[in-house]
Amino acid sequence: MGILGRVILRLMPITPKFFIRWVANRYVAGSDLSDAVEVMKKISLEKACFTVDVLGEEISKIEEADYFINEYSNLIDAIVKNNLDANISLKPTAFGLLIDYDIALVNIEKISRKAAEGQIFVRLDMEDHRVTQSTIDVVKAMHNRGLTNVGTVLQGRLFRTNQDIDDLSSSLRGVSDVRICKGIYLEPANIAHRGYQDIVDATNSAIDRLLETSSYTAIATHDMPIIKHSLNAIAIRGMGPGIEDPREGVSSWGLGKGEGYEFQMLLGVRGNVRRNLAKQGHRTRVYVPYGKRWYEYSIRRLRENPDVAWHIAKSMIMPWTNRR
Ligand code: FDA
């Protein structure tokens, strides 16, 4: 971490909320659903589609899940009403996964069923290792109840990921849809890679495995070595923009998906790389977070990625570079 990063992290606890909000503005759509809709309408001009996240995670009382059920329900209505090319991402612990598996299942089913009626895909974000297996179990349970519009995320850094890819691909019979990312949680060394290169190599290997097992492969990264690896992995399998997914056992993906794969990036991060991929014809999806918990999310992003400090400095000196 550079000196600037260290200084900004130190100053965060005494930084006025209005300043954090100004910084967050690039990474968070806003506090209300209407803010998210506005942001999507603007960015859709860049040939992007979206996955929308209502900010917030692990609840401590099961009743708190009601807020997320209501908000996601309104979100689905807004996507349909505004005819947006968007799906939704939700955190299972916000629906009670760490409190009561069966209640969480009922809560997630409510949203997934409503989403299915609107032809909308539901992505269960992957949280830390306490819920890796239960999140996968929820996906399988949804498919068993006929809700094939549900998929999840796997993290390249976890040693178990290639087995999870095989498991999902065989259990979901041709409709496995996985977002693959490095994984944001610092997991114990006995279950996860911890060095940068090991994580990149493992994530690239997971991307290859997803492509080989005919899973829909949503590549979520801003890291150029992984993007380059993915572009090559897609091309050597005869996949690419405008080409129907040639893999065995795969039919048309529907639900606003691409030709067997897509690239996903966070709102406000490396928009130039995303726009370039879109120009080349690849399906690109922006992860759009919004909600009342914008402050906590922004502080987490700042801690997570000291590069943000550089973006802050740059956007103060050259405001025109502060583009989502
Ligand atoms: P890396 O961190 O090396 O980033 C490469 C460059 O991108 C950085 O140098 C920086 O310039 C820029 N950058 C990256 N992240 C940034 C940020 N937050 N702010 C500003 N600049 C940034 N993880 C998880 O455990 N479960 C999940 O469900 C998801 N879901 C998810 C969805 C989407 C759409 C994305 C893009 C990522 C996730 N992640 C996630 C997070 C993921 O696991 C990973 O932690 C981050 O994407 C950072 O890793 P990169 O591969 O982008 O590389």
Q: What is the pLDDT of residues 194-236, one digit of tens each?
A: 999 999 999 999 999 999 999 999 999 999 999 999 999 999 9
Atom of ligand 1 nearest to the CA of 27: 19
Q: Among residues of the chain, what percentage have pLDDT more than 90?
A: 78
Nearest atom in ligand 1 to the alpha carbon of residue 308 is 20
Across 27-31, 97-101, 274-278, least confident range = 27-31
Ligand 1: residue whose CA is nearest its atom 25: 183
Q: What is the mean pLDDT of residues 314-320?
A: 64
The pairing of strands 216-220 and 284-290 is unpaired
Between 8 and 25, residue with greater pLDDT: 25
Which of 184, 203, 226, 262 has most ligand 1 atoms within 8 Å of CB, for mutation?
184
**What is the pLDDT confidence band of residue 2, given thresholds at 50, 70 and 90?**
low
Ligand 1 centroid–CA 320 distance in Å is 23
Q: Ligand 1 centroid to 51 CA: how many Å?
A: 15
Domains of the chain, start order: 1-28+295-324 (no CATH), 32-290 (3.20.20.220)
DSSP 8-state code for residue 248: T
Question: Which residue has the least CA distance to atom 47 on ligand 1?
Answer: 221
| Nearest to 179, CA basis, from 266, 277, 273, 115 | 266
pTM of the model: 0.93
3-state secondary structure of 289: strand
Q: Is 218 helix (H, G, I), strand (E, B) or coil?
A: strand
The residue written with tokens 């995303």 in the block is 274
Q: What would the pLDDT profile of 254-278 be if each residue is shown by its tens digit? A: 989 999 999 999 999 999 999 999 9
Cα(221) to ligand 1 centroid in Å equals: 5
Separation CA 15–CA 122 (nearest Å): 36
Q: Determine which residue's CA is closest to atom 26 belonging to ligand 1.
A: 126
Q: What is the CA radius of gyration of the chain?
A: 19
Residue ranges around ligand 1 (CB below 6 Å): 125-126, 153, 155, 181-185, 220-223, 226, 264-266, 269-270, 287, 301, 304-305, 307-308
Q: Which atom of ligand 1 is nearest to the CA of 89?
A: 28
238 pLDDT higher than 80: yes
Give the position, in ligand 1's atom list, of the atom nearest the Cα of 182.
Answer: 43
Tell me which residue has its CA closest to atom 28 in ligand 1.
125
Q: What is the pLDDT of residue 297?
A: 78
Whether the Cβ atoms of residue 190 and residue 231 lie closer than 8 Å to each other: no
Q: 309 C-alpha to center of ligand 1: Å?
A: 15
